Chain A
Amino acid sequence: MKSTFAKFVIAAAGLLGLSAPVFGHHGSRISYDLTKTVTLTGTVTEFQWQNPHVYIKFDVTDKDGKVTNWGAETYSPVVMTRDGWGRRTLKTGDKVTITVWPSKIGTPLGFLAKVVHPDGHVTDLSGGPGPE
Chain B
Amino acid sequence: MSDRSNRRGIVAGAVFALTLVCLPAVWAQGRGQRGAPSPTANLPFDAHDLTGIWRFSGPLAPPNVPPMTPAGKARFDANIPGLGGPEGKNKPLGNDPMMFCDPLGYPRVLTFGAYPMEMVQLPGRIVQFFDFFYVHRTIWMDGRKLPEDPEPTWYGYAIGHWDGDTLVVESNGYNGRAWFANGGYPYSEEAKLVERYKRADHDTISITMTLTDPAIYTKPWEIGPATLRWAPKEVMREDVCAPSDEKKYLEEIREPAGRKPGQ
**Interface residues in chain A, defined as those with a beta carbon under 8 Å from any beta carbon in chain B:** 1-6, 9-10, 12-13, 16-18, 22-32, 48, 50-53, 55, 57, 71, 73, 75-79, 81-82, 103-105, 107, 109-110, 127-132
Interface contact A30-B34, CB-CB below 8 Å: no
The 8 closest A-B pairs by CB, nearest first: A27-B82, A3-B35, A31-B258, A109-B257, A3-B34, A132-B30, A31-B92, A31-B257
Chain A residue contacts of B118, Cβ below 8 A: none
Which chain B residues lie closer than 8 Å to A25 at the CB level?
A: 83-84, 112, 114
The residue that B94 contacts in the complex, of A27, A71, A103, with Cβ under 8 A, is: A27
Residue from A30, A52, A130 within 8 A of B246 (CB atoms): A52
Q: Which residue of A lies closest to B263 (CB)?
A: A105
- Give chain B nearest CB distance to A121 CB in angstroms: 17
Interface SS majority for chain B: loop
Q: Beyond the given A4-B34, A16-B18, A76-B114, could you list 12 further A-B residue pairs with CB under 8 A, ordered by the A residue number?
A: A3-B35, A5-B26, A26-B83, A27-B96, A27-B258, A28-B83, A51-B246, A52-B249, A71-B256, A107-B256, A109-B257, A128-B26
Q: Which residues of B contact A (CB under 8 A)?
A: 11, 14-15, 18-19, 22-23, 26-27, 29-36, 81-84, 90-94, 96, 98-99, 112, 114-115, 131, 231, 233-234, 237-242, 245-246, 248-249, 252-254, 256-260
Instruction: Tell whether, in the assembled complex, residue A132 and residue B83 are in contact, meaning their CB atoms are under 8 Å apart.
Output: no
Say whether B92 contacts A30, CB under 8 Å.
yes
Other-chain contact of A55, B15, B23, B35, B253 (Cβ < 8 Å): B253
The listed residue with most A CB atoms (<10 A of its CB), out of B11, B27, B258, is: B258
- Known A29-B84, A30-B83, A131-B30; judge A23-B258 contact (CB<8 A): no
- For B19, give its contact among A18, A53, A76 (CB under 8 Å): A18
State the CA gap A13–B258 with chains docked (Å). Answer: 23
Could you tell me if A50 and B245 are in contact, using CB atoms closer than 8 angstroms?
A: yes
A30 engages B82 (CB within 8 Å): yes
- A79 and B23 alpha carbons, distance in the complex (Å): 16
